[in-house]
Amino acid sequence: MPTENIRTYDVIVIGAGPVGENVADRTIAAGLSTVLVESELAGGECSYWACEPSKALLRPVLLRADAVHVPGLDPAVKNPLDVEAVLAHRNRMSADWNDDGQVEWIKSVGIDLLRGHGRLAGEREVSVETTEGDTVRLRARHAVAICTGSRAALPSLPGIENLRPWTSREATSAQRPPQRLVIVGAGVVGVEMATAWQALGSRVTLLAREDGLLPRMEPFAGELVTERLREAGAEVLFNVSVVGAERVGDGGGEIRVALSDGGEITADEILFATGRAPRSEDIGLDTVGLKPGDWLATDDSLTVTAVPGNWLYAVGDVNRRALFTHQGKYQARIVGSVIAGRAQGDQLDTGRWAPHSSTADVEAVPGVVFTDPEVATVGLTVREAERTGRAVEVVDYEIGHLAGAVQHRPDYRGRARILIDRDRQVVVGATFVGPGVAELLYSATVAITGEVPVERLWHAVPAFPTISEVWLRLLETRRDS
C-alpha cells in the first residue's frame, strides 16, 4: 500500500545528471543538507546517451583518420575498424548503462539520493513518486534547483511514431550499425553521428535544411567537415527537408523518406537530430505559476526570474543559456555559491565575471565538434558580431602551414580564426578547424575570459613544433596586414 512521508532538507535538486550532481556537491560542501531526485540513471544524459558514448564511438574513427596518413602507420590501419571492439568500448564508457558507480559517489560525499519522479508542489516543496510507488513530500529550507536537462525534439511529421525513429539516445547506444542510415539535421549531433556510423560501416545520407553544415559556426567549419564526410563516402544533401516517411512491411521493414525536392531515399534507420526541448513538461511548474514544457528563464545567478522569493533555480540545459554539459557544470558551481551565500545571509556579487554570475554563458561558451576535422569554438563568430553590432578585426590563418600540423598529419588541412574587439584590443572569439584542434580551445577560452590584451599575447610563447604555434601565426598575420 503506497505511503506518504515528509522530509526536510536545506536544498532539493531535481535531476541527478552532471549538472544536478555538481549543484549538490557544492551545496553539501557548504554545509547544506541536500537531496538529489532522479527518475532515470544517476549521471544523466551525458554519461549514458550523449558525451561519453558518442566520444567513445568517435575516438577510434578520428585516430584512424590521422593514422592512415602517417608514414609507417598507414599500411597497418587501412583495414576497416573492428566494429565489435568499438561498440564494446562504447558500452564500457557508458558503464553498460548501470549507475552503481555514480550512486556510490553521491553517497560518499553525503548527498541523499531519492529515486523517483519529482514535481514541484508549491513554494519550496517537491512531491516525489518513488520507484516503489510511494509518495515522498520534500520541503526545502533554502532552495530548489531544477536540473532536468533537455531531450531530443522531434519534428511534427505525420506518422513519425510509426517510424520508430532514432534520436541522439538510439544513435549513441545502438548495438549494431544499420546498413543504411538517414540523418536529418546539420548540427553537432547530426555531423558527429554521420562521422561515427559511416566509419563503422553504415551508408550514411545526411540531410541539411540549410546550405551548409554547422550553421551556427563560421562557414569554413561546415565546409571542411562536408568535404571529409563526402571523402569518407557519406552523401550530404543541402537545402532539403523531409516531407514524409513511412516504415514499410510489418513495421520492421525499411524506411522510405520523401524529400522536399521530390526525391526519395530508402534506409534501415532514420535519425532526427533536429534540436532539443526542455524536460519541463511534467515537473509541476504550474504549481509556481509557470507553464509546463517551457524553458526556464533565469538571471546570471541562475535564479528563475518569474518566481519571487529567490528560492527556485534552473541550471543546465533546462534554462537554455548554453546547452553543453561543461557549461551546465560551470553554472552548477556558480549556483552552489549563490545558494550558500543566500543561506548564510551574504551579499551576492553578481557583476560581470563575479563569483555569483555566470558571465561565461554570454561571453565565452566553448564547444568542440568531434568530427574529422575537429571543430573548436568559443566566443563570437563573425555573424554574431555583426548581429550584435560589435566592431571586430577578423584574423585568419591556414593551420596546415605549421610545422607542428604537418608532424601531426602530413596532409593536414585546417583553418584558424580569431576575432579582436577593435576598441578593447582583446580576443572575443576564436574558431579552430582541423585534426587535433580540440586541445587549442582552452587557451582561447582563457584569452577571452581573462581579457588578455593582444599585445600581451606576444609574450605567450608556443612550443615548437606544436599546433599551438597557430597563436603566433595569427598575431603575425594581424601585424603584417
| Segment 379-391, tens digit of pLDDT | 999 999 999 999 9
**CA-based nearest residue to 121, from 105, 140, 103, 108:** 140
Residues of the chain with pLDDT under 50: 1
Q: What nine digits make up the cell of 158? A: 505525420
Q: Which residues contact 419 (CB under 8 A, 6 or more apart)?
A: 379, 380, 381, 382, 385, 392, 393, 394, 395, 427, 428, 429, 430
DSSP 302: -
pLDDT at 251: 62
pLDDT at 172: 98
pLDDT at 75: 84
pLDDT at 386: 97
Cα–chain-centroid distance for residue 389? Answer: 27
Q: Is residue 24 within 8 Å of residue 14, measured between CB atoms?
A: no
Separation of alpha carbons 276 and 290, rounded Å = 20
Which pLDDT tens digit goes with each residue over 342-368? Answer: 999 999 999 999 999 999 999 999 999
pLDDT at 252: 73
Separation of alpha carbons 303 and 299, rounded Å = 6
pLDDT at 76: 80
Residue whose cell numbers read 568500448: 89
Q: Is residue 51 within 8 Å of residue 327, measured between CB atoms?
A: no
pLDDT at 126: 98
Q: What nine digits make up the cell of 46? A: 551525458
Taking each helix axis from N to C end, the angle separating 219-232 and 188-199, rounded to the nearest 10 degrees, works out to 20
Residue whose cell numbers read 518513488: 130
pTM listed for this prediction: 0.96
Q: Is residue 369 within 8 Å of residue 225, measured between CB atoms?
A: yes
CA atoms within 13 A on the CB side of 317: 20
pLDDT at 481: 86
Q: Which residues contact 260 (CB under 8 A, 6 or more apart)?
A: 240, 241, 242, 243
Separation of alpha carbons 184 and 114, rounded Å = 37
pLDDT at 11: 98
